[in-house]
Amino acid sequence: MKSALRKLWLNLSLLIFISFSATQLHADDAHYKNMLIGERAATMGGSYVAISDDSTGCYYNPAGIAYAVGDSLSGSGNMLHKLKTVYTEAIGTQDWIRESESLVPNYFGVLKKYKDYSFCFSYVVPEAFIEHQDLLFDNPLSTVKIYYQSLHSEDITYLMGPSVAMKFGENLSIGLTLYYQYRSFMRQFYNYLESTDGSYEVIYQSLKLREDGVMPKLGLQWSPWSLLTVGMAVDQAVLFNSAFQGDISFHNTDNSTGTTIPTTMMMRVNSAEKRKFPLHLAWGVSYFPTPSLLYTADLDYYQAAENGRADIMNYSGGTEYYLNPTNAIRFGLFTNYTNLPLPDSSTTAPYEYLDIYGASFGYTSYSSSSSLTVGAIYTSGSGKAWLYSGSTETRALTRESLTLVFSASSSL
């Protein structure tokens, strides 16, 4: 019969692995809008499908670059992207906290215009999570003396490739982007638990993953009249390579019976299974009531391609106002809904259900040949987490992030 300590450790071990299992092979594959791209688009909540008239349009809607004013070079960086997730009273009365902090230049684009044609090459980082974590709990439970957890993980996805767009008259354009998609993931995790009777447990985990694929994006833009523009884009990523390797070691010394019983286990896992990505359809509309004022709104529909995922619709909207010809301010609101189905009374771990809402703000200063943008993006959400295997017991879950944006662009 297993000792009470071993039962306790089993529960804690399940908590640890289950808490990571939803994100073990991806930092957050339950949400699609974790980072906003570009200077103007990001500060309007990512609502850009019906605008896209600069190199950022290669990512949102390549048809929009057909209406670019001229050649341009632009780059943007998230000066600071911080994310914090809290699981309330996950271990005894102690909260379990995960934090991510990264400094990532997430966009670079070069656009060249030839009469009715426009060409662009862009580099995009739509996902970047870098976590460093050390948690130490003294006496979290009556039978546990020390609980320690250390984590380092990096998960970054890159997109890069060419775009082309063509105008048909003054009111209609089509565009195509072909991205090469590359993802690099690694995680090292160490866990130590010491009981009040001197027994201890150690788990070490090392995971690595590389993915290669392509993501084509087709776009359309139409202006039925001078003050209104509508846009549509469709894309779906496909992997042609996936290589995963995991190493897990476990060591246990049980003194609860009065006799030291060491147990050691090591395991290596390899997999070439490829993820399936959702079909993404985006629609947008922009309205210019005056030359200095813009309103824009987008709908993003994701059709699930894997079992256990749900179809979702995200919404975003933004506004831009020129204080004068050289200074503009922007605001935006957006949703980042989970792609997991609604939980019910039968839902058990591992499961996290969390919807996220965001707001953005930005300011741009223009000169005759360049622009400089600063801004901020804030997101927040609350939900529930099912942590213990086979249990319907939940913990409150909250997540918030702050991104400081800095970008610059120049006319060539």
Nearest to 73 by CA among 137, 9, 123: 123
187 forms bridges with which residues in the sheet?
153, 207
Q: Give the β-pairing of 293-303 and 279-290.
A: antiparallel
Report in angstroms the alpha-carbon separations of 14 from 190, 390, 391.
14, 10, 11
Quote the pLDDT of residue 5: 44
Radius of gyration of the chain (CA): 24
Q: What's the rounded Cα separation, in Å, for the pair 86 and 397?
A: 6
Question: What tokens appear for 387 in the block?
Answer: 């942590």
Place of tokens 């894997």: 306
Q: What's the rounded Cα separation, in Å, for the pair 214 and 183?
A: 11
Per-residue pLDDT of the chain (412 residues; tens, 9 = 90+): 344 444 444 444 444 444 444 345 556 788 999 889 988 999 999 999 999 998 899 999 999 999 988 888 777 666 678 889 898 988 778 888 888 888 777 888 999 998 889 999 999 999 888 887 788 889 888 888 998 888 888 999 999 999 999 999 889 999 999 999 999 999 998 888 888 888 888 888 899 999 999 999 999 999 998 899 999 999 999 999 999 888 888 777 766 655 555 677 778 888 898 999 999 999 999 999 999 999 999 999 999 998 889 999 999 999 999 999 999 999 999 999 999 998 887 887 778 899 999 999 999 999 888 889 999 999 999 999 887 666 778 889 999 999 998 888 877 6
DSSP letter string, 30-61: T-S-SS--SHHHHTTTT--TTT--STTHHHH-
Question: What tokens appear for 356 in the block?
Answer: 């996220």
Q: What's the rounded Cα separation, in Å, for the pair 407 and 320?
A: 17
Burial 215-234 (b: 16+ CB within 10 A, else e): bebbbbbbbeeeeebebbbe
Query: Is the whole model's pTM more than 0.85, yes or no?
Result: yes
Strands (E), 226-292: 228-235, 238-254, 261-271, 279-290
Quote the pLDDT of residue 16: 47
What domains sit in the chain, N to C, each tagged with a CATH number?
Answer: 4-411 (2.40.160.60)
First to last CA, the chain: 75
Q: What's the rounded Cα separation, in Å, for the pair 321 and 328?
A: 6
Question: What tokens appear for 273 in the block?
Answer: 């299974």
Residues 6+ apart with CB under 8 A from 50: 61, 64, 221, 229, 230, 231, 284, 285, 286, 296, 298
Quote the pLDDT of residue 23: 42
Cα diameter, the chain: 86
Instruction: Report the amino acid identity of residue 66.
Output: A
Question: What tokens appear for 47 in the block?
Answer: 């609502």
Secondary structure letter of residue 226 according to DSSP: T
Residues 6+ apart with CB under 8 A from 103: 77, 78, 79, 80, 81
Quote the pLDDT of residue 123: 94
Q: What's the rounded Cα separation, in Å, for the pair 18 and 7?
A: 16
Q: What's the rounded Cα separation, in Å, for the pair 288 and 45?
A: 17
